[in-house]
Structure 1
Amino acid sequence: MRNFIIALCCIFSINLFAKSIEVTDVLDRKVTLNLPAKRIVLGFYYTDYLAVGGVKSLDNVVGFSKEVWTDWTPTSWDLYLKALPQLDKLADVGEVELSTFSVEKVLSLKPDLLILAAWQYEIIKDELDVITKAKIPIVVLDYNRESVQRHVKSTELLGLITGEEKRAKELINFYVSTVENVEKRIKAANVKKPKIYIEFGNVGPQEQGNTFGKDMWGSLIDLAQGDNIALPYVEKWLPISNEQVITSNPDVIIIAGRETELKKNKDAMVMGIGIDKDEANKRLKAYLNRDGYKFINAVKNNRVYGIYQGASRTLADAAMVEFIAKALYPDLFRDVDPVKTYIDFHKKYLPVVPTGTFAFQVY
C-alpha cells in the first residue's frame, strides 16, 4: 500500500510540473508539446542545444544524427566526447543527406519530441507522416539561415524545450546586442559598403568552392554590412567562376576552412580546432596564386582572411559577424576581438573551450 501511494505521488508530481503548450516553429508550423520533454531525438544543432539547455539537458536526449557531427567535424566530436562521454551511448538515427535517416529507428526510441533543422525537414518531410501519426511532435529549428530572426526563434524554442527560458533570453540578448553593435558603428560612420567574397575552401585553390548568397556566410555578410559579390549569381550556395571574382574585384576575400580536410586534401583550406595557424596561413596563401588574383584589390591590399567553417550556423557565429565587419571596416572595430568573443562564448555556455585557429588575416 505504501509503495502504491508513493507511485501515485510520483505520477502526480510529474503531471503537476508537466504542461501542454502550442508553439510555432521557424517554418510557422503549429506544434503541441508536452513539456518538459524527456525523450528527445536531435537531428542537428547539438552545440546550440547544449548552450541553451546546459550539460544536464543531454540527459533528455535518447538519439541523434551522429554522422553530421562525427563525420563533418570529427575534431569537434572528439573534444566534446572527452567532456561528455555519454554522447557515445546515444542511439544513432542516421543522416539525412546520406539518405540513412531511419524513421523506424526514431520510432523505436519512443521519443516525446523530434527536433530537426529546416534543411533536414525539407528533404525528408514526405517520410515523416508515420512519426506524426505516432503523435510524436516535430519541431523545426534553423540556424543555417543565419538571420537574427531565426536565431532568436530557434533559441526561444530550445529554451522552452529544455526548461531554460532564462538562459535562452540571455543568449538571445548576447546575439542581438552583438549584431546591433556592429550595425550601429557602421551606420554612424556613414561609409560605402566594401565588396566582399567568401568561399568555402574544402576543394583547394585549383577549383572554385561554394560561395554564398542569402544563406550561411552570405547572411553573415549582410549582418556585417558588406556588399556580397556573389549575391547576383547565387541564391544559397554554389561556386562562381574565377573570372567573375576577378571582374567583381572584391575589397575583401575570406576563405573558410575546417579540420576535416587536414589529412584528406593537402591543398584545401583548413581552420578550426587543433589547426596550427602557420599551416592555415600556408594554405590560404596558395589561393592568392590563382590566375588573375594579383589584380584584385583584396590581394593587392593584403585584405585576405581565413575563417572557421564550423563557426557558422550557430549562436557562436555572432563572433564571426564581428570578424567579417572588422575585415570590412578595420578602423571601426580596432577595439573588438572576435576570436575572444568566440572563445568566451564557449567558456560561458559550453562544456569545452576549443583551441586552434578560428579567424586571422593572411601574413
Structure 2
Amino acid sequence: MQFLRKMAVAVTLAVSLVAPLAARAETVKVTDVLGREVEVKAPVERIILGEGRQIYFVATLDKDDPFKRIVGWRDDLPKADPDNYKAYLARYPDIAKLPTFGGMKEGSFDVEQAIALKPDVLFMNIESKVASDEAKLIEKLAAVGIPVVYVDFRERPFENTEPSMRLIGKLFGEEEKAEEFIAFRAAEIARVTDRLKGAKVDQPLVMIERAGGYSDDCCMSFGRENFGKMVEIAGGRNLAADLIPGTFGVVNPEQIVAANPDVVIVTGGNWDAYVPGGAWVGLGPGTDLAEARRKLANLTQRPAFAHTAAIGNGRVHAIWHQFYNSPYQFVAIQAIAGWLHPDLFKDVDADATLKTLHERFLPLPYKPGYWVSLEKVQ
C-alpha cells in the first residue's frame, strides 16, 4: 500500500509539472498579412527570422531578452544596420553564434538548414513572397510541420504594421504588450495628424530620395506608401506620388528640376559593408553627425538638386533609412512634420519620442544620430 501511495504521489507530481506546459502549448489559427490562415503552436519558443531586421519588432515584445526565441536569422542586420547590430552584439554576445541565412529573393535561403533548426514558425516579409513561391518554400516546410507567417513593415506599412504586431503578439503570448505598443504608436502619430486637421498651413512639395549616394544613379524614391506616405501624413506633398505607381521607384533628375521641390529629404544609413566609402549619408545610433552633414551637403551639389528652392532655403534633411522597414515609422513622421511645419510642431520633439520608445520597449539605450539637417545657404 505504501508503494502504491508513493506511486500515486509521483504520478500526481508529474502531471502537475507537465500540465502547465501542455496548457501553454496549443495550436492557434492566425491570419497573416497576406490573408493566409496558418496554424501555429503558440506561444512559440523557436523562431527563424527571414530578415535580420525583424529584430526591430521582436525586441519590442521581448525587451528583456530579444533573442531568447531566435534559433536562426537572415544575415542582413550586420550589413544593413551595423550600428544597431554592434550594440546588440555587445549586450548579447551569443548572437554571434546564431545560424544565419541568405536572402529568399537572392536564392540563398537554406531550406534544409531551416528544417534542421526545428523552428515553431518562420517569419517572412511579404516582398519575398514571389521568391518563396518559386522555391516552394511553404510546401517544403509544411511537409515537416513548420508554418510560415508573412508580416509587413515595408511595402504597405500603414496598412500592415498594426495587424503584423497583433499577429506576432499572439504567437509570442504577448498580446497585451503588442497592444501597448500599437496604442503608443497611434498616439504619437495622432500628435501630428490631429494638429494638422485644425491648422491652415501650406503643404510644401517634398522630394524624398531613397538611399541617396548609395549609387551614382539619381534618384530612387517612394510612391504613395512608406516614406511617401509619411510625408503626406506629416503635412507635405510627395513629389513622386504620381510618378511612381508602386511603393518604390525612380524619379528622373529632369523631373526633380522641373518640380523644384521646397524640401529635400534623403534617407541614409551606414552602408560601408555594401558600398565602402560611398557617398551615402551615414545615420544610425551614435553616428558622427558632422560627417553625415558633410556628405549630405555633397549630395546637394548634384545637378538634380543644386538649384532647387530646397537648397536655397536650407530645407535639406537626411533621416535614418531603416524607419522604412520597422514599426518605428511614427518617429520619422514627427521628425518630418517638424521640418515641414516648424512653427506648428515646435513642441513636438521626435528625438524625445525616440528616446521614450527605447526606454519603454527596447533593450538598448538610446543614442542620437538618426537625422541631420543643413543650414540655409547665405
Aligned to 2:226: 216
1:149/1:241 CA distance change after superposition, 3 Å: closer
Aligned to 2:285: 273
1:90/1:317 CA distance change after superposition, 3 Å: same
Distance (Å, rounded) in 2 between the aligned partners of 1:14 and 1:161? 16
Distance (Å, rounded) in 2 between the aligned partners of 1:3 and 1:61? 35
Report matched runs for 1:243-258 at 5 Å. Answer: 243-258=254-269
Q: In the alignment, is residue 239 of structure 1 matched against residue 250 of structure 2?
A: yes
- Cα shift at 1:88: 2.0
Contact 1:198 1:217 in 2 (8 A): yes
Query: How many aligned positions are there?
Result: 362
Deviations 1:36-85 (A, max 9, x none): 112211213112111123233522221111x1112212222111111122
Aligned to 1:134: 144
Deviates more, 1:71-80 or 1:85-94: 85-94
Q: In the alignment, is residue 15 of structure 1 matched against residue 22 of structure 2?
A: yes
Contact 2:46 2:121 in 1 (8 A): yes
Distance (Å, rounded) in 1 between the aligned partners of 2:56 and 2:153? 11
Is the radius of gyration larger for structure 1 or structure 2? 2
Aligned to 1:170: 180
- Cα shift at 1:4: 6.5
1:201/1:147 CA distance change after superposition, 3 Å: closer
Q: Give the letter aligned to residue 250 of structure 2.
A: P
- Cα shift at 1:156: 0.6
- Cα shift at 1:277: 1.1
- Cα shift at 1:144: 0.7
Distance (Å, rounded) in 1 between the aligned partners of 2:211 and 2:43? 41
Distance (Å, rounded) in 1 between the aligned partners of 2:49 and 2:278? 33
Aligned to 1:321: 333
Distance (Å, rounded) in 2 between the aligned partners of 1:38 and 1:76? 24
Q: Give the letter aligned to residue 59 of structure 2.
A: L
Contact 1:215 1:236 in 2 (8 A): yes
The percentage of aligned residue pairs carrying the same residue is 27
Aligned to 1:50: 59
Contact 1:53 1:163 in 2 (8 A): no
Report matched runs for 1:310-349 at 5 Å. Answer: 310-349=322-361
Other structure's SS at 1:81 match: helix
Q: In the alignment, is residue 93 of structure 1 matched against residue 104 of structure 2?
A: no
Aligned to 1:82: 90
Other structure's SS at 2:164 match: helix
1:63 to 51, 69, 72: 72
Distance (Å, rounded) in 1 between the aligned partners of 2:311 and 2:352? 26
Q: Give the letter aligned to residue 36 of structure 1.
A: P
Deviates more, 1:69-78 or 1:48-57: 48-57
- Cα shift at 1:290: 1.9
Deviations 1:147-201 (A, max 9, x none): 3331111111121111111111110001111112211111211333221111123
Contact 2:226 2:324 in 1 (8 A): yes
Distance (Å, rounded) in 1 between the aligned partners of 2:86 and 2:303? 38
Q: In the alignment, is residue 358 of structure 1 matched against residue 349 of structure 2?
A: no
Q: TM-score, normalised by structure 1?
A: 0.92
Structure 1 spans left out of the alignment, 5+ residues: none
- Cα shift at 1:303: 0.7
